[in-house]
Amino acid sequence: MSEAKRFAYLKEVLIGGGAGVVALALILLGLSVSGPTLPGSNNGNGSTAQASSSASPSASAAQCLVNKQISDPLLGDVQAIVVNAADDKVLLDVNGEKASATASTMKLLTAAAALETFGPNYRIQTRVYRDTTDPGTIYFVGAGDPTLSRTQPGKQSVYQDAPKLNDLAVQINRAVGTTPITKIVADGSLFKGPQWLAGVDVSERTNGYLGLVSALQVDGDRNDPTRETSPRSANPENRAAGWLKQAIGANASGATIVSGVMPTSAMQIASVQSQPISNWINHMMAVSDNTQAESLARLVSLDAGMDGSFASIDPAVKAALRGAGIDFTGSVIMDGSGESAKNAVAPAAMIKLLKQVYLATGSFGIIKQSLPVAGESGSLQTRFKGDNVDADGKVFAKTGWINHGYTLAGYISAKDGSNLLFVVYALGPKVADSAKGAIDNLVTGFYRCGAALGPATVTPAAQ
C-alpha cells in the first residue's frame, strides 16, 4: 500500500472507528500508547516511588523520595544537596546555595588547600638554635608542627611516628658539650595574631578538643599525648620548652624558660622533621583533629606570603583552591578546623570540591582515602547502626559538630551501583546530638534510592 493510500485509509478508520480500532490504527502508524504506571507505595525505607509515564522517551523515570527523613525536626534548619557523580545531575537540593556553618567539614577545604600548596610529601622541620654571644642560651623555634612529641623512644603519641624531643635533646647535648644551658627561649612567633578565635567556646580548650594556635607546641599541647581528646594549657610555648628541658637532662637542669624571638645571628644546632603532610591529613580527617587543621591553614597562609593569622586564612585557602579550579567566592572561612559558627560555605560549593576528591584529582586522593567510613572507621565507626546498617561500608564522609550544628559531607556507593556526592547541614538553636541519627537516616535514604533519588519537600515542622 502506498503512503498516500495508507494515510487515507487510516484517516477513515480514525474518524469512524471505536477506541480499539483507534489503537490499532495508531499501531499501524508506528505509534504506541500506554497509560501511567501505578504510583509506588512506601517501601518500608521511608522512600516512595512516584508515578511515571513511558509515553515518550523524555518521560521521567520513577523517583525515590526521602521527604520523611529530611523533614525530621531533629535536623533543624536542614540543608542538603545530592549530585550523581557520573553526570553531575543534581538529584536533590534543599537550600543548597545558602552559605552556612560547616563545622568540621571545613577540614575538607583545609586539607585540599594544603595538598594544593605543598603536595603530599612536604615535611615541617623544627629547629633549635644557639646564641652566638651567649653559648648558654638556646632558642626553641616553632615551625608549625604540633605533632612533635615528648613520648619516649618506641612509644607512640596520637600522631603515629611523630618526631621526638629526645632526638632534639641528643643533638643539643652533642653541640653544647660541657657548656651548661642556662636559658631556653621559647619562640612561637611564626604565626601572627590572636591564638584563639573570638566566639569559640573556651571549653573546647579545657575539654581538650583544641589548643591555643601556636607555631610551637608539643603533642598538640595535650596533657596526655596518647589521647586525642585531652585538656590543653594556656601557654603551649613555655610548656613545650619545659618538656625540652626535661629531655635535655642534667645539662639544662638550671635553665630558665622565657618567651622570646630568636635573633638572626643565632646558629642552628639541632633539628627534626615531621611525617609527610599526607600522614597529617589521614589522621586529621579520620578523627577530626582540630590542632592539625589550624596549623595546616596557617602554613598555607605563610606560603602565600601572608602572616599566618586567623584573618589570613580566608584569602589564603581560597587562593589555593582557585589554583585547583575550585571557586569559593561568597564563602566565609574563619579558621582551618570549622570550630567557628561564623564559617559560611554553601553545600553547593562544597559539592564542587567533593567531586574533585571523589575523582582523586591531583593529590586529592589522599583526602578520599582518609575519609571516615560508615560503621567501620574514624568518626563514623559507631554510626549508621540499627535500621541504617545496610549503609555500613558504603558512605565515605567527613563529619562535623559545633554547638547547635551537625554536618556530614562525602560520597556514597549507592545500593543501585551509582555513586552520589552529598552534603547535609543540620543547624539551629534546637539541634542536639540526636541530629546525628537523623542525618544517618537521611543519608541511608540517599544510599537506598541511588540515582533514582528525587527532589525533596521539607515540611514546615523541620524548619
Q: What's the grid cell of residue 47? A: 522512600
The pLDDT tens digits for 296-345 are 999 999 999 999 999 999 999 999 999 999 999 999 999 999 999 999 99
Contacts of 20 (CB under 8 A, 6+ apart): none
Fold for 67-118+281-462, please state it: Beta-lactamase (3.40.710)
Q: What span, in angstroms and rounded, lies between the C-alpha atoms of 361 and 412?
A: 18
Give the other-Cβ count within 10 Å of 230's Cβ: 18
CA angle 169, 171, 176 (to 5 degrees): 95
- Span 418-456, pLDDT tens digits: 999 999 999 999 999 999 999 999 999 999 999 999 999
pLDDT in tens, 369-422: 999 999 999 999 999 999 999 999 999 999 999 999 999 999 999 999 999 999
**How much is the pTM?**
0.86
Count of C-beta atoms within a 10 Å radius of residue 3: 7
Q: Strand 256-259 and strand 183-187: pairing?
A: parallel
CATH class given for the domain over 125-275: alpha beta
Instruction: Report the Cα 325 to chain-centroid distance in Å.
Output: 18
Domain boundaries, the chain: 1-33, 67-118+281-462, 125-275
Q: Which residues contact 139 (CB under 8 A, 6 or more apart)?
A: 128, 129, 130, 131, 184, 185, 187, 260, 262, 266
